[in-house]
Amino acid sequence: MQKVEVQLGERSYPINITHEFTSLLPELAAAAQVVIISNSVVAEHYLQSVISLFEQQPLHFLLPDGEAHKTLASFEQVLSFLLEQRMSRDLVLVALGGGVIGDLTGFVAACYQRGVRFVQIPTTLLSQVDSSVGGKTAVNHPLGKNMIGAFKQPEQVVINTAVLQTLPQREFAAGMAEVIKYGLLGDRQFIDWLLQHAEAIRQHDASILAQMIRHCCQMKADIVSRDETEQGERALLNLGHTFGHAIEAFMGYGTWLHGEAVAAGMMMAAKLAHSRGWLTAAEVEVCSTLLMAFDLPIAPPPTMSIHDFLPYMKADKKVKAGKMRFVLPTALGKSSVVADVTESELLQVFA
C-alpha cells in the first residue's frame, strides 16, 4: 500500500493506494450508520466488496450512470432517501464511483444536517487522480458546470488500482487528461516520465499505474494543503477547464467526457500561450503528442465557434470583477493564472 496525506490540520486525511478494497480507518469501518452512494454500473462490480469493509450492514442508494445525472434533482433524491431512513448526524456516506458520484455524495455530505462524514472510493482514473482529492463537491446546472456546491473534505480516500482493469478505454483515456494536466501545470520531469512510460500506461502496467496515481495525488495534496479553498495556487489545477467546461455545457453533459473536454481545453490554452510567446511551437507539439498518445482530442468540437465559448467562460467560477481568468502554461511544466485575456485576443487566436 502507498499512502499520501492531505495536510489540513485537524481535518487532515489519508489517501490509501492499494490493489484491493481494504484499509478503511477503524472508526469508519465501525460506524453504526453507513450509506453507500453508487451507480448501477459500478455497483454490479464492486458494491458487495465495499459492503464487506464495514462491521455493520450498510444501506445503499444507486443512481443512474453518467454526467447527465449530476444534478440538483439527484441531490434531492439522495437527501430524501437519507431522511426516509432517519439517518442521523453520525452517518458516514461512502462515494463509490467516479467523479459524478464523488462530487454529488460530497455535496450531500456537506449539506445533510449541516454536515456528516464521508469517504471517497473512486473507481475511475480521473476520480482517483483528481476529483476524489481536495474536497471540491458540486452538481451541474444547465448554465454552467459545477456551479452549485461546497468545499467538504472526506475522512479518507481509498484507491483500488485494480478497478481500472474493468474501466472502458474511453474512460481511462479521459482520466489521462487530468494526469497530463499535472505535468503541464507544474512538473516538467513528469511530462518526460509520461512520454517514457506511455506504452506501459496504455497496457495498464500495475506498478506504473500505482506510481502515476501516487504522484498526481501527492501533487494535488500539496497544493490543497497550501490553498484549500482556491484563493490562489489551487486555481492552477483548472488548466484547460475554462475551455473544457464550456465544451461540456454547450455539447450537453455527458456528450463529451470531462477529461476529453479538458484535453481539448489544454490545447486551446497552449495555443493561446503560444500566441503570447510563452510556448514555442515545439512545446505546443509536445502537448499535442502527449494527448494523442492516449487518444485524446486536441481540438474543440467542430460545431463550436469561439462565440459559443464566450457566454460560458464569462460565467465561469474564476471570473473576478467581470474579467475572465484563464490558467495558461508559461513554459512546459509551469503555469499561471491570467486575467488580461480579451475577447478580441480569443477571436484572433481561435478564428
| Mean pLDDT, range 256-262, rounded to an integer | 97
How crowded is residue 63: how many other Cβ atoms within 10 Å of its Cβ?
A: 22
**Beta strands across the sheet bearing 156-160:** 2-6, 13-18, 156-160, 117-122, 92-97, 34-39, 59-63
Using CA atoms, how far apart are residues 131 and 344, in angstroms rounded to an integer? 33
End-to-end CA separation in angstroms for the chain: 49
pLDDT over threshold 90, residue 223:
yes
| SS3 of residue 301 by DSSP | coil
Query: Alpha-carbon dihedral of residues 82, 85, 87, 91, nearest 10 degrees?
Result: -70
Residue 160, pLDDT score: 96
Digit-coded pLDDT (tens) for 85-110: 999 999 999 999 999 999 999 999 99
Q: What does the pLDDT read at residue 8?
A: 97
Listed residue (327, 322, 303) closest to 181, CA to CA? 327
pLDDT tens track for 126-160: 999 999 999 999 999 988 889 999 999 999 999 99
How many Å apart are CA 178 and CA 259, to the nearest integer? Answer: 6
Q: In a 3-state reduction of DSSP, which class is residue 6?
A: strand
Catalytic machinery residues: 114, 136, 178, 220, 230, 234, 238, 241, 245, 258
Contact status, residue 75 vs residue 107, Cβ threshold 8 Å: yes
Domains and CATH numbers, the chain: 2-166 (3.40.50.1970), 172-349 (1.20.1090.10)
Q: How much is the pLDDT for 319?
A: 85
SS3 content of the chain, % helix, strand, coil (to 5): 50, 20, 30
pLDDT, tens digit (0-9, with 9 covering 90-100), for 193-222: 999 999 999 999 999 999 999 999 999 999
Strand partners, 326: 338
Sorted by sequence, the CB contacts under 8 Å of residue 30 that are 6+ apart come out as 54, 55, 56
- Show the DSSP H helices in the chain as ranges: 26-29, 40-51, 72-84, 99-111, 125-126, 169-186, 188-196, 198-202, 206-226, 241-251, 258-275, 281-292, 306-314, 343-349
Q: Which residues contact 349 (CB under 8 A, 6 or more apart)?
A: 271, 272, 275
Mean local confidence (pLDDT), 176-192: 97
Give the pLDDT score at 320.
Answer: 84
DSSP state of 34: E
